[in-house]
Structure formats: C-alpha cells, structure tokens
Amino acid sequence: MEKQQLIPELYRKEYSKMVTVLCSRLGITFIEAAEDIVSDTFLTAAETWGMKGVPENPAAWLYTVAKNKAINYLKHNRVIEKQLKSDPSHSSDQSFEMEIDLSPQNITDSQLQMMFAICHPLIPPEAQVSLALRILCGFTIDEIASALLTNKGTINKRLFRAKEKLRTGNVKISFPESTAIDARLQTVLITLYLLFNEGYYSASPDKVLRKDFCLEAMRLALLLAEHPQTRKPGVHALLSLMCFQASRFDARITQSGDLVLYEKQDSSLWDTDLINRGNYFFVKASATGEISRYHVEAAIAWWHTHQADTREKWENILRLYNQLLIIEYSPMAALNRAYAFSRVYGKEKAIVEAESLQLSGNLFYHSLLGELFTDIDDAMAIWHLEQALTLVGTQPERAVLTARLSTLMDAMNR
C-alpha cells in the first residue's frame, strides 16, 4: 500500500485506540490533549515517512511515537504529574515509560470504558453519537458533519459541549459499578443502535448507505459481547440485528450507487456468513428468555433474510411488529408494521392502518401510501409520491421515487 493510502488507513484503524488509551491514563479532563498528541503523531509520520520511508511495522512505530509524545507531555505538565503521583495505582519510583500501556488488552479495556463515559446520561443522544464517531471511531469533523447533514461549526460546538459536560460532571473513564452496569449499558446500546442506523439509513445527500458507520458500530458491539462484564442478552441481540441487516449490504445498493428496494434485491448477494453469525448471536441472546426491542428487531431482520415471499413470513413479521410497538412505540416501526399488514391483508385494509398514523410530513409515510394507493387510486398514489419527493434527503431515494412516479403517470396517460 502506498504512503498516501497507508496513513489514512492507519488513522482510521489506530486513532481511536490511541486516543482512548491516553484518555484513560490522563483522565477525561485532558481529552483534547490526547487528541492533539495522536494527531501530532500522524503528522510526524507523514513528515518522517516521506523522508525516510515507511517503517517495517507502521502501527508499532505510531504507538511508540505516541507513547513518547505522551510521556513528554506528562513530564512538562506538572498538574497531571501531581494527579498521577496522588493516584494509589502509581508508584513514585515508576518511570514515565511504564505509564502508557498500549497493549491489545488495555486498548480493548480503554475503548469499553470510554464507551461508557461517552454514553453518560449527562450527554444528549445526538452528542453521544457525534462523540462516539470522533473518539471511538476516528472519523474526522468533516466526515461527521457530512454524514449528519450539518456543518463543521455545529459539530465542533456539539463536541465541545459534550466534553465540557464530561469534565464538569467529573465522569470517570471506567466500568460502572456492577449494580449500575445494566442501566448504563442500555444507554450504550442505544448509542450503538443509532450509530448503526446513521450508516444503514444514511442521511448523506449522495449516499443511502455508509458501511463504515455500520462496521464501526458492529466492532464496538462485538467488544461488548466479548467482555465478561458486558456479555449480556441485549448486547447479543443488538449484534444479531446488525449482522442480519449487514448481510444485505451488497444487495441494497448497485455498483453505481442506486438504491435497490427489498422486493427487488438479488438474494444471491446476501452474505450467508453474516446471516450465520446473526443466528449465532441470536441463540446466545435468547438463552435467558429475556426479550428486548433488540430481540424483536433481530427476529424481524431474520425473517427478512428468507428469500421465500410467503404469507407465513409476513404474518410472523406483522406479529413481531405488534410486539415491538408494545415494547417501544416509534413512528418508523408503525409504518413498517403497516407495510407488513398490507402483505398479509391487502393494500385497501393497510391504507386505513397507515392513514390512522397521521404522519403527514414524514417521508416514509407518504412513500408508503404512494405504494399502497398504486392500482387502487393512482391519483392519490401520485399525490403522496409528490409529497415524498419534497421531503427526500438522498439522491438514491429521490431516484427511486421519481421512477415510481414516472411509471404511474405514464400508466394514467395511456
């Protein structure tokens, strides 16, 4: 791999690991210092490798340089030095070289602890997602702003306020007490769920799917699933859901970036390995009999990995959506239930179900009714599709709606 590609690739893989380890050692107060040290490390790499060539083990080189920069920072910052020396785990005889542990195990522990810190109840959900993308996933401010349909200034303010809340709240980078871990874990799972959905239903104008967001959410969920303190049914259920959804990545988007609706997907492109992993995690999630929203959504996603378009399939999906709405209501789940209802009881009855939701101004509400009214009242179908077009955010979605609208109008003009 050429240097121009290597450094961005290493930045994506190693930035978050290095930052979380340094934050764990320095404390949440010095989160910007940790980010600066790591950013400076990559700048040094770009300069040094350009003159001397890429080292044999680039990642190890980065870790060594980051460690040395952090040690120099500690030596020149008396405030941190006093804090470290007052820490019972620190021996005054230890050299600074012993203070920065970049071992694989400590990296994993630090990322998990940082996950709980970022997902603290003090921080609103949208800020948690932004902070997770920056600190845990290593995304740039530009990338986060683009993906979340906002600007750099807004993201910087959001991150600054979130970090201030962590500082003023004296939030520790550590695992919660065993008595509190279940409650805190729910917030972590919500953040990872939102992070995955930001990628799977990307709001970015030119993309309907951002695999990088989804894969980062899956990586972090897997860390939770592998750790003894967080190896819980809800974690396994969420990971199962992610695997089932991710199994259809390649079928959802054409090579040119066009969106492919579920009914038209080529099932031969579905990833059977991911489906099998989803099954594995779902079995683990079901071992205790606990049922959460993630269990139900994973079961719905499992049925969507079945190619056969049978009444039994849609009856089960409808039943699961009924259960999901009891556990936790959401407009999107209600709309998806209305679609499943149409597959079981027909479009006319489903129109009544959908209209009762009264979600005018919602893209998916109008898109669904455009589908349901097709061949029943094409004029109403056209009206709803036109409403949907005024609300659409991504070019691939716009292309699908435009094609449906064009087909309907052509049929009416014949």
**Please, are residues 175 and 113 in contact by the beta-carbon 8 Å criterion?**
yes
- Measured distance between the N- and C-terminal CA atoms of the chain, rounded to whole angstroms: 57
At residue 382, the 3 state secondary structure works out as: helix
Q: What is the pLDDT of residue 80?
A: 56
User: Would you state the pLDDT for residue 333?
Assistant: 94
How much is the pLDDT for 206?
58
Locate the DSSP E strands across 273-363: none
List all residues 6 or more positions away from 28 whose beta carbon is below 8 Å from its beta carbon: 117, 163, 166, 167, 171, 172, 173
Question: What does residue 216 show for φ and ψ, rounded to 5 degrees?
Answer: -65, -40
- Res 208: pLDDT: 59
**Residue 76 bridge partners (DSSP):** none
Question: Angle 311-327/293-303 helices, nearest 10 degrees?
Answer: 160
The pLDDT assigned to 210 comes to 80
For residue 24, the tally of other CB atoms under 10 A from its CB is 23
DSSP 8-state assignment for residue 176: P
Q: How far is CA 53 from CA 42, 43, 47, 56, 189, in A?
A: 14, 14, 10, 9, 42
pLDDT for the residue 92: 44
Give pLDDT, residue 96.
43
Phi, then psi, of 232 in degrees rounded to 5: -115, 160
List per-block mean pLDDT (blocks of 10 residues) for the chain, which spans 414 residues: 75 89 86 92 93 91 91 73 54 48 86 91 88 87 79 92 91 85 88 87 64 90 93 97 95 84 90 97 94 96 91 96 95 95 96 95 94 94 95 85 89 74
Helices (H) and strands (E) in the chain, counts: 20, 0
The predicted structure's pLDDT at residue 260:
86
**Strand partners of residue 339:** none
DSSP state of 259: B
**What distance in Å separates the CA atoms of residue 6 and residue 187, rounded to the nearest whole number?**
35
Contact 332, 366 (CB under 8 A): no
User: For residues 100 and 109, what is the distance between their CA atoms, to the nearest angstrom?
Assistant: 14
Distance of CA 174 to the CA centre of its chain: 22
Which pTM does this prediction carry?
0.85
